[in-house]
Amino acid sequence: MKVDWLIIGAGYSSCVLAERIATQLAQRVLIVERRDHIGGNAYDFYNEHGILVHKYGPHIFHTKSKKAWDYLSRFTEWRHYYHHVLGVVEGKKVPIPFNLNSLYALFPPHYAQKLENLLLEHFGFGVKVPILKLRESASGDLEFLANYIYENVFLHYTIKQWELKPEQLDRGVTGRVPVYISRDNRYFQDRYQAMPKHGYTEMFRRMLNHPNIKVLLNTDYREIINDIKFNRIICTAPIDTFFDYMYGELPYRSLRFQFDTLDREYYQEVGTVNYPNDYDITRITEQKYLSGQTLPKTTLVMEYPQAYVPGKNDPYYPIPREENRELLALYLKEVDNLNGTVIFVGRLAEYKYYDMDQAVIRALGVFEKEIANCI
């Protein structure tokens, strides 16, 4: 078999690049995916109860980028959806990100009012303050509040999720869910927030539906790479795998997902409920909130964080720490030695957390700068 491009993996990064190369350059692409489906971690399917389920954990699409939104809108219609999250703190369910409404859900009204006034004086309305910054800059009652939120919302959740304390990770990790000085209970504030009307998998299917694109599932690229003729490779698989772990394994966190279907219409008040302090799970997501389906039963997914063990479970979250960046730098030097014959794109190949929209923007950028311009 002879193709122009061999693409390893069939997730977001791969589907965007395959679609661009096939339609804009009229070149032939073979995608090789080790799983039995396309879509990578965003893969979804209808379970035996007809409920649309995200196999690798809840994926909510949100972006500020018109470019990412317009691009994906060619392959899907959307169902507008604002994700809401509650966190269980001292037995009460409070809005997450922690905001002014969360104060009133936890403290007596006069004290909540006092804390609200202090937050407004210090930071102003509409400002997002990372918890570590709040802890550094607070004194008096605000210091109490900062420590309370740190202890009850962040500390134990982070330890469960990462087996590390917030301070042991890059600041960006806890900064992703800041304290929000606002009354907006939505989990995201991005301009575009929606779910693909017929699911992510259907959107990917449409992206790959082109005569220049072939997909080989259930195949690790290492099994076939010597049997296929190609000009260039795009790798969206883990970068350390590609170099046969010559400098050792890059560490990841993994998750175990447990799905339960209940014989009732709804289980919880919102899409996701976080359990920062109790149980071994971090959160429960009720899939029907995401799909908007009206059905008599409901499917929940519970997430149990765990260590990543190659060959046993999947690598989900690159662990953003200095020592891991140093290891990554060794692999990136090897990439330079390949003189552009292999392009590394995506969260596993770049060892970098990308949201779905960021993965799309990155892949479109790679296509424009490193592929279309160089042909």
Residue numbers of the site for ligand FAD (CB under 6 A)?
8-14, 32-35, 40-42, 56-60, 220-221, 236-237, 241, 255, 316, 346-348, 354-357, 359
- From the CB of 358, what's the least distance to ligand FAD, in Å? 7
- Let me know: does 339 contact 231? Beta carbons within 8 Å: no
Residue 99 or 161: which CB sits closer to ligand FAD?
A: 161
Which residue is associated with the tokens 């004086």?
121
- From the CB of 63, what's the least distance to ligand FAD, in Å? 8
Q: Which residues pair with 64 in a beta bridge?
A: none
Residue 33 or 116: which CB sits closer to ligand FAD?
A: 33
- From the CB of 179, what's the least distance to ligand FAD, in Å? 20
Provide the terminal-to-terminal Cα distance of the chain, rounded to the nearest Å. 22
- How many angstroms separate the CA atoms of 353 and 359, rounded? 9
Residue 104 or 221: which CB sits closer to ligand FAD?
A: 221
- From the CB of 107, what's the least distance to ligand FAD, in Å? 30
Residue 141 or 170: which CB sits closer to ligand FAD?
A: 170
Residue 11 or 276: which CB sits closer to ligand FAD?
A: 11
- Residue by residue, what is the 3-state secondary structure of 198-257? CCHHHHHHHHHCCCCEEEECCCCHHHHHHHCEEEEEEECCCHHHHCCCCCCCCCEEEEEE
- From the CB of 182, what's the least distance to ligand FAD, in Å? 21
- From the CB of 11, what's the least distance to ligand FAD, in Å? 2
- Let me know: does 250 contact 239? Beta carbons within 8 Å: yes
- From the CB of 221, what's the least distance to ligand FAD, in Å? 4
Q: Which residues pair with 62 in a beta bridge?
A: 193
- Let me know: does 232 contact 5? Beta carbons within 8 Å: yes
Residue 34 or 156: which CB sits closer to ligand FAD?
A: 34
Helix (H) or strand (E) run with residue 322 in it: helix 322-337
Sign of CA dihedral 171, 173, 175, 178: negative
Length of the chain: 375
Residue 102 or 282: which CB sits closer to ligand FAD?
A: 282
Sign of CA dihedral 246, 306, 57, 322: negative
Residue 12 or 275: which CB sits closer to ligand FAD?
A: 12
Residue closest to ligand FAD, measured at CB: 40
- From the CB of 355, what's the least distance to ligand FAD, in Å? 3
- How many angstroms separate the CA atoms of 268 and 276, rounded? 16
